[in-house]
Amino acid sequence: MDANDNVSKDNVSKDKGTHYDYSIKRNRTGRVFFLFVSVLVFLFLPGVLLHVLLDTLFDTSEWLMTPFYLLSVLIGGFVFSRFLPNYLVEIPQVQGYVTIDLLRALLGRSGKTYVIYGPGLHIAFPWEERSEKSNFSLEVFTIEWSEQVPGQDTQLLIKGSYQFEVDLARSIKFIGVDEKTIESGALDIIKAEVSHWASTQSADDAKKGIKKLNLKLTDIFLSSDSDVTQSTKATHFQDRYGIRTIAVTVSSIDLPPKVQEARDAVDEANQVIEGVARMYGMTADELKAKIGSNEPDGISIERYNEMVDRFAAKSGNATMNIQAIKLNGLEGLGGLLKLLGGNNK
């Protein structure tokens, strides 16, 4: 046992080998030596004691000693086989394990009592305490996230994913932490950056800027040399819970369903008004100006509704919500013109 059992971040490569046991500094020599000594004690000590006992008490001849000696070796080997599992730690593939060195704890060497093991079969000290709760997966966890944030001109719905894995060298920090805690911490950082970025973007620019946003998030979580202020928070977050970010990605930027419906309604209204205007040989702005106007060439609400019906019949476009474009009075006229950006004269 020595200071090699105390694992620090410097013991492990930041990019490679974090899942392999050889990346963990552990007193392997001491464990092998103790196993070897234990084998010798169990196999030969009983025979030596038996030899001394028989020779002292009964003055047994050497040729009679041999079978007793062989029997003691067999008994010692059988007894040791019962204790052998306490000397071994077998970790399944893509998993890690943490034990507690009770002898270190008894000696008061706090801070160095945790022993980390990676996948494979390893020699351990028999006094290491083991628990099922100390077993953890080294597989990549994926958290799907979706955030609605304000953009420069409208709300934006941003979706993506955050992938992380346990850093084997810092896995003692991960023990006892659930995925929800990590999800909350990661999303706090992601949402802060996404909200700041979206506030400077229009809806159209945001949809075109997914690549830039991905680069920002990658820089925050994966670049140790980043000048981004949030990177300090991301590094602290990962160190605190003993994890390592694999990828953080924005997959889509869209308008929220209700906002998209409103935009679709405006687009549909514009299509109808432009179609009606073209059918009657005028521009959309000219038509908007004439609807409800008291001028000689003004178009009454009833006349406008007839024009919409005629356009619908002529265009054969049954998918349009024509009824929503028609007017039912001056109140409806004001709302339509405001929606379409026209002026009621």
User: Which sequence spans correspond to the domains of the chain?
Assistant: 3-135, 140-255, 258-340
Of the pLDDT bands very low, low, confident and very high (cuts 50, 70, 90), residue 49 is confident
pLDDT at 337: 56
Axis crossing angle, helix 257-279 with helix 330-340, rounded to the nearest 10: 100
Task: Say yes or no to pLDDT of 10 above 60.
Answer: no
pLDDT at 105: 83
Most confident of 74-78, 103-107, 243-247, 271-275: 243-247
Tell me the pLDDT tens digit for each residue of 81-90: 899 999 999 9
Task: Say yes or no to pLDDT of 8 above 60.
Answer: no
For β-strands 141-150 and 155-166, DSSP reports them as antiparallel
pLDDT at 150: 86
Of all residues in the chain, the percent with pLDDT exceeding 70 is 73
Cα dist from 316 to 52, 271, 309, whole Å: 112, 14, 11
pLDDT at 11: 37
* Contact present, 209 and 201 (Cβ < 8 Å): yes
Q: Which of 53-62, 138-147, 277-286 has the lowest mean pLDDT?
A: 53-62
Of the pLDDT bands very low, low, confident and very high (cuts 50, 70, 90), residue 170 is confident
Task: Say yes or no to pLDDT of 127 above 70.
Answer: yes
Residues 6+ apart with CB under 8 A from 115: 5, 26, 98, 99, 100, 101, 124, 128
pLDDT at 267: 64
Q: What is the mean pLDDT of the chain?
A: 77
pLDDT at 162: 93
Of the pLDDT bands very low, low, confident and very high (cuts 50, 70, 90), residue 257 is low
* Contact present, 89 and 131 (Cβ < 8 Å): no
Cα dist from 195 to 127, 158, 213, 218, 256, whole Å: 52, 10, 11, 16, 15
Q: Please, which residues bridge with residue 299 across strands?
A: 291
The CA distance from 284 to 266, in Å, is 14
In this structure, CATH architecture of domain 140-255: 2-Layer Sandwich (3.30)
Please give the model's pTM, rounded to 2 decimal places. 0.65
One-letter amino acid at 60 equals: T
Which position has the higher pLDDT, 236 or 259? 236
Most confident of 35-39, 293-297, 313-317: 35-39
Tell me the pLDDT tens digit for each residue of 283-305: 877 777 777 677 777 777 777 77
One-letter amino acid at 106 equals: L
**Average pLDDT over every residue of 202-219:** 87
How buried is 222 (Cβ within 10 angstroms: 0-12 exposed, 13-18 middle, 19+ buried)?
Answer: middle
pLDDT at 328: 55
